[in-house]
Amino acid sequence: MEQQRSTSGSSLSPRSPSSQPYLSVSVTDPVKLGNGVQAYISYRVITKTNLPEYQGPEKIVIRRYSDFVWLRDRLFEKYKGIFIPPLPEKSAVEKFRFSAEFIEMRRQGLDVFVNRIASHHDLQQSDDLRTFLQADEETMERLRSYETGIFKKKPADLMQIFKDVQSKVSDVVLGKEKPVEESNPEYEKLKHYIFELENHLSEAQKHAYRLVKRHRELSQSLQDFGKATKLLGACEGNALGKTFTELGVKSETLSIKLQKESHQLLMNFEEPLKDYVRAVQSIKAAIAERANAFRQQCELVETIKLKEINLDKLMLTRSDKVGEAELEYKELKADSEEATRRFQTIVSLMNEEMMRFQEQKTFDMGLAFHNFAKGQARLAISIADAWRSLLPKLEACTNLKKADGEERSKRYLTYQMAKPVEKHENSMKMQQIILVSSETN
């Protein structure tokens, strides 16, 4: 049975009307709806704002992942040159789709996604964002269906657009198309940086994944070791058994700490790195759009040159087609000017976006690595304190066994020293018996 959700929100404004303009969005309360292949996760999206174009100070709507995809695609279509924030990826493994950990990771990623849009000077003014944050579920479903009908052949992955642009290289090799590329040293430097950044971020994220895995494996090993040591302590007696039991308890406690730290590593270290890998892919999609705009601009310039030659010929021959040719020429000139403006706008926006991206990346990566180092230091201290607290008891057991061993050694030496005397006495007795026996005979 599907769970029912309430979308009624408070009428109280979180801030006073005299405060600065703000737009705050929270993605909360993930709930699984439906069954089988029709199952999906819905989220409560809470918007708080004092912007006049919104319906009120607070609005609560229910959204699903495909609604976020709709918003991303709409923004990408309308805002060329702006780096559209990336969405968290879908789970490639079916059995993990509804795991608590994956659902929380996606919720956190969706929250970051929509707040990046809400905090962006241009994107926050989007009509599509307002629709996403305020429309009812029926309206959103209708909009999604409409978009699917129009853009059903559009690549779902924005990076496919970039790949389509790069596929032009094969046409060049085969002689099908003359390469049209922007020759700008700064632009080439930017592209090189983005490709290098993607490679290094991907490598860092891969090793962050291994760190998370290592923490989880060590946590499981400590848990298993703790259970085994407690069982060992149960079959021992006195101080040794008690010490083994305490060792097992400490191991299980450290196992829990490692499990928690592995989760923190996943959410606050690996996921931010993975998010920036996706962010770089969004930048590459913008680069592809810039390349496409430049190519369109160049193609129109070449077409205009051909039209000028054709128009001159028609004028020389005083053809009756001159008027029609002049009209086409003017339309092409207008299209060319528009293409040039569009390209220049994309270039200008990308320059601004790169500065914004670098500032945000510096902050986010600094925070992620700070959290990583802080967590590792905290974990190391906990591990050291736990083992250190056991040392006196383990040493006491060792000293006790040492004392027992020394006592046994003393008794053994005394016994060994007494054996020659006893042997000598026995020998004397035997000689006396032999002597008495001989005299009797």
Residue 299, Cβ neighbours under 10 Å: how many? 13
Q: What is the chain's mean pLDDT, rounded?
A: 83
Q: What are the two backbone dihedrals, phi and then psi, of residue 29, each rounded to the nearest 5 degrees?
A: 50, 60
* Statement to judge: residues 204 and 325 lie in one domain: yes
| Residue 94 clears pLDDT 90, i.e. is over it | no
Residues belonging to the chain: 441
Residues facing residue 26 across a β-bridge:
46
Q: What is the pLDDT of residue 282?
A: 94
In the listed set 154, 186, 210, which residue is the last one of a domain according to the structure?
154
Q: What is the pLDDT of residue 35?
A: 84
Helix axes 137-150, 65-78, angle to 10 degrees: 50
Helix, strand, coil share (%) of the chain residues, nearest 5: 75, 5, 20
* Statement to judge: residues 277 and 142 lie in one domain: no
How far apart (Å, rounded) are the C-alpha atoms in residues 182 and 257?
54
Beta strand 23-33 pairing with 40-49: antiparallel
* Statement to judge: residues 235 and 138 lie in one domain: no
Q: How confident is the model at residue 405 (pLDDT cuts 50, 70, 90)?
A: low
For residues 50 and 11, which has the higher predicted lDDT (pLDDT)? 50
For residues 165 and 381, which has the higher predicted lDDT (pLDDT)? 381
> Strands, E, within 58-189: which ranges?
58-64
End-to-end Cα, the chain, rounded Å:
114
423 assigned to some structural domain: no
In the listed set 154, 183, 214, which residue is the last one of a domain according to the structure?
154
User: How confident is the model over 273-286, as pLDDT tens digits?
Assistant: 999 999 999 999 99
Q: Which two tokens stand for residue 204?
A: 């860092």
404 assigned to some structural domain: no
Find out whether 83 and 353 touch, Cβ atoms under 8 Å: yes
Q: Going by C-beta distance under 8 Å and a sequence separation of 6 or more, which residues neighbour residue 219?
A: 255, 256, 258, 259, 262
The total number of structural domains that make up the chain: 2
Averaged pLDDT, 47-70: 93
* Statement to judge: residues 210 and 259 lie in one domain: yes
Please report, for residues 173, 174, 325, the alpha-carbon distance to residue 170 in angstroms, rounded to integers and kept in the order given.
5, 6, 35
Residue 327, Cβ neighbours under 10 Å: how many? 10
Burial class (CB in 10 A: 0-12, 13-18, 19+), 72: buried
Q: What is the pLDDT of residue 427?
A: 60
Q: What percent of the chain has pLDDT over 70?
A: 77
Averaged pLDDT, 371-385: 95
Averaged pLDDT, 213-224: 96
For residues 174 and 359, which has the higher predicted lDDT (pLDDT)? 359
Supply the CATH number for residue 137's domain.
3.30.1520.10
Query: What amino acid occupies position 413?
Result: L
| Residue 393 clears pLDDT 90, i.e. is over it | no
* Statement to judge: residues 270 and 393 lie in one domain: yes
| Residue 439 clears pLDDT 50, i.e. is over it | yes
How far apart (Å, rounded) are the C-alpha atoms in residues 22 and 353?
21
271 assigned to some structural domain: yes
Q: How confident is the model at residue 211 (pLDDT cuts 50, 70, 90)?
A: very high
For residues 435 and 202, which has the higher predicted lDDT (pLDDT)? 202
Residue whose token pair is 């040492």: 402
Going across the sheet that includes 23-33, the strands are: 23-33, 40-49, 58-64
* Statement to judge: residues 285 and 215 lie in one domain: yes
Q: What is the pLDDT of residue 14?
A: 43
Burial class (CB in 10 A: 0-12, 13-18, 19+), 81: buried
* Statement to judge: residues 16 and 83 lie in one domain: yes
Q: What percent of the chain has pLDDT over 90?
A: 58
* Statement to judge: residues 127 and 230 lie in one domain: no
* Statement to judge: residues 18 and 162 lie in one domain: no
* Statement to judge: residues 123 and 146 lie in one domain: yes
407 assigned to some structural domain: no
| DSSP code for 266 | I
Averaged pLDDT, 98-121: 93
Q: What is the pLDDT of residue 437?
A: 57
| Residue 76 clears pLDDT 90, i.e. is over it | yes
3-state secondary structure (DSSP) of residue 93: coil
**Full domain range(s) for residue 137:** 1-154
Q: How confident is the model at residue 317 (pLDDT cuts 50, 70, 90)?
A: confident
Residue 33, Cβ neighbours under 10 Å: how many? 15
For residues 15 and 101, which has the higher predicted lDDT (pLDDT)? 101
User: How confident is the model over 119-161, as pLDDT tens digits?
Assistant: 999 999 999 999 999 999 999 999 988 866 544 545 445 555 5
Query: What amino acid occupies position 96?
Result: F
Q: In degrees, to the nearest 5, what angle opens at C-alpha 50 toward C-alphas 48 and 55?
A: 75
384 assigned to some structural domain: yes
Q: Going by C-beta distance under 8 Å and a sequence separation of 6 or more, which residues neighbour residue 181?
A: 291, 294
Residue of 278, 289, 343, 348 lying closest to 116 (CA atoms): 278
| Residue 176 clears pLDDT 50, i.e. is over it | no
| Residue 313 clears pLDDT 70, i.e. is over it | yes
Q: How confident is the model at residue 410 (pLDDT cuts 50, 70, 90)?
A: low
| Residue 205 clears pLDDT 50, i.e. is over it | yes
Q: What is the pLDDT of residue 311?
A: 78
Q: What is the pLDDT of residue 198?
A: 95
For residues 1 and 45, which has the higher predicted lDDT (pLDDT)? 45
Supply the CATH number for residue 247's domain.
1.20.1270.60
* Statement to judge: residues 122 and 173 lie in one domain: no
3-state secondary structure (DSSP) of residue 28: strand
| Residue 194 clears pLDDT 70, i.e. is over it | yes
250 assigned to some structural domain: yes
Q: What is the pLDDT of residue 6?
A: 45
Q: What is the pLDDT of residue 10?
A: 38
325 assigned to some structural domain: yes
Q: Going by C-beta distance under 8 Å and a sequence separation of 6 or more, which residues neighbour residue 110?
A: 27, 43, 65, 68, 87, 88
Listed ranges 225-229, 242-246, 404-408, 426-430; the one with the highest mean pLDDT: 225-229
How far apart (Å, rounded) are the C-alpha atoms in residues 398 and 236?
15
Handedness of CA 427, 428, 433, 438 (dihedral sign): positive
Q: Which two tokens stand for residue 180?
A: 């049209």
How far apart (Å, rounded) are the C-alpha atoms in residues 270 and 108?
13
